[in-house]
Amino acid sequence: MFGFSPCLLKGKTVLVTGAGKGIGFDCVRHAAKAGASVIAVSRTQSDLDELRSLYPKQIECWCEDVSSDQFIRRLNQLDILHGLVNNVGTNKVSPIEKQPLEDVDTVIDLNIKSLYRTTKAAITPMRKANQGAIVNMSSQMGFVGSAGRTLYCMSKHGVEGFTKALAVELAESNIRVNSVAPTFVQTPLTQPMLEDPEFKQFVLDMIPLNKLATTSDVANACTFLLSDLSSMITGTSIKVDGGWTAR
């Protein structure tokens, strides 16, 4: 469901990472619906082609790896940027005693290091715009703990700390920094886990609203934080978690 004005983000340029599927795909779609010019970033050209076909005049596609130096240079050299959604991320589920060390590098490199580098590069074109809104994709696991998700929780708690500190640092430049923290969302990343009936029931039992979030639920929160409707909101998180963290 999309309930925003089609002019809400008119005149704004927004970049979304991890745009090819799931939450990122809908973040691009919603921002374009709200009138933004959107730069969609993904490693998969076919996903980008599908996305661009929806709003060919508004969506520019970058087939890039967000961890590459080429992407960082390209972002830093943009003429202007008003919004950034740091959506790219990954998870490796395992008890800590069985977790391979390479999982630590994989999760931290994508969930923390690439977010840090992307944000740092985006600040330059945002300063040119004399404003900016950065939205970091966090998780309910940035506020609670869960067995088998120590590594993921560590990374998302890091996202929350980064969001708060940078919001304070960039406030004088009129650049706002917030996060969106979803519960489990039906996406290609979560699909294998949610196919286990026992695990899916555990998830639903933990959510007072007793339902999974949709990609649109998350994209709507991002759209709000990118817009001037949230002009006095910075350094905080919107929890799209159905009440999971309220228990």
DSSP 8-state class, residue 65:
-
Q: How far is CA 63 from the centre of its chain?
A: 18
Show the beta-strand stretches assigned E in the chain.
Answer: 13-16, 37-42, 59-63, 83-86, 132-137, 175-182, 237-240
Q: How far apart are CA 41 and CA 62, in angstroms?
A: 5
Return the half-sphere exposure (C-beta side, CA atoms, 13 A cut-off) of residue 166. 23
Q: How far apart are CA 190 and CA 172, in angstroms?
A: 38
Please list the active-site residues: 152, 156
Coil, helix or strand for 48?
A: helix
For residue 130, which amino acid is it? N
Closest CA to 238 of 184, 187, 182, 158: 182
The answer to whether the CB of 24 falls within 8 A of the CB of 87 is: yes
Q: How far apart are CA 99 and CA 195, in angstroms?
A: 22
